[in-house]
Amino acid sequence: MQTLQISDQAAQQLQSLAAQEQISSCDLIEKLIAKHSEELTKQRELSEFFKPYQKDLTGFKFDRNDANER
């Protein structure tokens, strides 16, 4: 296990949050890491889902008159 060095302010916030959740600081860190990992996974899944719908619109110009004629 590695030693984690954090500032006094971060340590105080960690202890305060852990007290609110009524868990230990270590458990809170594990919980936060797991939640962050889930968010990254969700973000990757959404990115992959929308990839086929992304189009390169470089050089696209909107002509209002042409659109109104249609």
* pLDDT, tens digit, 9 for 90 and up, residues 35-64: 999 999 999 999 999 999 998 888 888 888
**How sure is the predictor about 11, in pLDDT bands with cuts at 50, 70 and 90?**
confident
Q: Residue 37: which domain range?
A: 13-50
Give Cβ neighbours of residue 24 (< 8 Å, ≥ 6 apart). Answer: 18
The answer to whether the beta carbons of residues 15 and 25 sit under 8 Å apart is yes
Number of domains in the chain: 1
Is 60 inside a domain boundary? no
Is 29 inside a domain boundary? yes
Mean pLDDT of the chain: 89
Report how far apart the first and last C-alpha atoms of the chain are (Å, whole number): 66
